[in-house]
Structure 1
Amino acid sequence: MAQEQKVSITGPAGMLDGRWQVAEQTQLGVLMCHPHPLFHGTMDNKVVTTVTRTAAGLGLPTLRFNFRGVGNSEGVHDKGVGEQDDVLAALSYARNELGWQKVILAGFSFGAGMACLSACRAPEGIAALVLLAPAVHHFDAPNQLPYEFETFIYMGDADEVVPFDEVSDWAERVVPTPHYQVFCEGSHFFHGRLTDLKASLQEDWTPLLKAVGLG
């Protein structure tokens, strides 16, 4: 597998530092958003890289990036407001610069919230929404998601950061009903369960892979 390439994404608050994994096909790619910048969240987080490596192993191109003010990305943290625009800028880059036709938009914790809200603002071209331990206590989780794509939620029932009950309650109330997988004794960072998470992602992405001739 080829190494990721460094890319610079033009964002509304300046350039965003990113990493792009090339693949032979560009019909479907994975864009991954990292956890909270104020709690040391970056695109190098282990959950983030587990998702992108899983995707790359399936033949999918991937893109991960640092939100504004993180690492070499310009700008300053904007409390989850401007960060949504960062996601939209990365989506635009994936489509217009990398040539992706469809995008699996994924995020972990804070990044899951930003991915969710961005998908609601711009659902066009999104093949699936993947939310890992979505920090529903930190963002205004919507009561309705777009019908253009399916949503997948992955949560550990021993999460020490995001309240498990709040995520479960939201997963039960939001429409359309998302796919919701609970990892027994799973922590926020999926310690000891990353292999299981990888297997779940592979299984859930199979229908999408078949649509582009990879499954």
Structure 2
Amino acid sequence: MLTRETPVVIDGPVGQLEALYLDSAEPQGLALLCHPNPVQGGTMMNKVVSTLQRTARDAGLITLRFNYRGVGTSAGSHDMGTGEVDDALAAAHWLRAKHPELPITLLGFSFGGFVAASLGGRLEAEGEHLSRVIMVAPAVMRLRDEDALPHNCPLTVIQPETDEVIDPQLVYNWSNDLSRPHELLKVAECGHFFHGKLPELKELVAPRLSN
């Protein structure tokens, strides 16, 4: 199994985006990973994103994670909204151009959950058939329009029950009000960054990448 990611540069909407790409000898699909809030120090090297990347790798998926504008060596400055979704769309198009035949799974943590969900809606509008969208401790307060979400793929929401950054009740209420089918998985005695709970996160995500 290939384990070492390769640094790549992607042409983004406001300049080059720094990214890490991992190919697979017998790929089962593609995984695009979206990182947490850059204003609060979020990068593609975040440990939750790294766990999601390794989980996708172990499931036989080709993976791509990237830094939004203004993060690391990515050009531009933070937009904290549609700009980061624009960046994610550029990353998805790069991945799709390399592998036109493989299905895409989107995974996002915290602010990245908002980005992944919003990206999913955009990709479906372009005619993309997604495998799944997985939102981990997602910033659902940023998702103001349900129509912006993807509607034709499985949607999984994973929420720590003692999240100190994203109010769990906000996520539960959002889930309860969401009209499209989805699953909400709660992680007991777990904070936002999954300290001591990363193996549990992997156990939840892995089977959903393999079916």
TM-score band, normalised by shorter chain: over 0.9
1:44-193 residue pairs with structure 2 within 5 A?
A: 44-99=45-100, 101-123=102-124, 124-137=128-141, 139-144=142-147, 145-193=149-197
Are the counterparts in 1 of residues 135 and 156 from structure 2 also a CA contact under 8 Å? yes
Identity %: 37
Shift of 1:99: 4.2
Deviation at 1:57, TM superposition (A): 1.2
Q: Of the candidates 176, 195, 199, which is equivalent to residue 199 of structure 2?
A: 195
1:198-213 to structure 2, matched below 5 A, reads 198-207=202-211
CA-CA distance at 1:90 after TM superposition = 0.6
Whether contact under 8 Å (1:26, 1:100) holds in the other structure is: no
Unaligned runs of 5+ in 2: none
Q: CA deviation at 1:27?
A: 5.1
- Whether contact under 8 Å (1:142, 1:174) holds in the other structure is no
- The count of corresponding residues between Structure 1 and Structure 2 is 206
Tell me the distance in 2 between the aligned counterparts of 1:21 and 1:186: 29
Structure 1's 158 and 64: CA in aligned 2 closer, same or farther, altered over 3 A?
A: same
Alpha-carbon RMSD:
1.4
Per-residue CA shift, 1:128-174, capped at 9, x if unaligned?
A: 1110000123x134335433201000010100000100100111111
Give the whole-Å Cα distance in 2 for the aligned partners of 1:147 and 1:162. Answer: 24
Q: What is the TM-score normalised by the length of structure 2?
A: 0.93
Q: CA deviation at 1:100?
A: 5.5
Q: Quick check: 1:24 aligned with 2:28?
A: no
Separation in 2, partners of 1:31, 1:177: 22
- Shift of the 27–55 alpha-carbon distance from structure 1 to 2, 3 Å rule, reads closer
- Gaps spanning 5+ residues in structure 1: where? 208-215
C-alpha deviation, 1:94, in angstroms: 0.5
| Equivalent-residue separation in structure 2 for 1:191 and 1:118 (angstroms) | 27
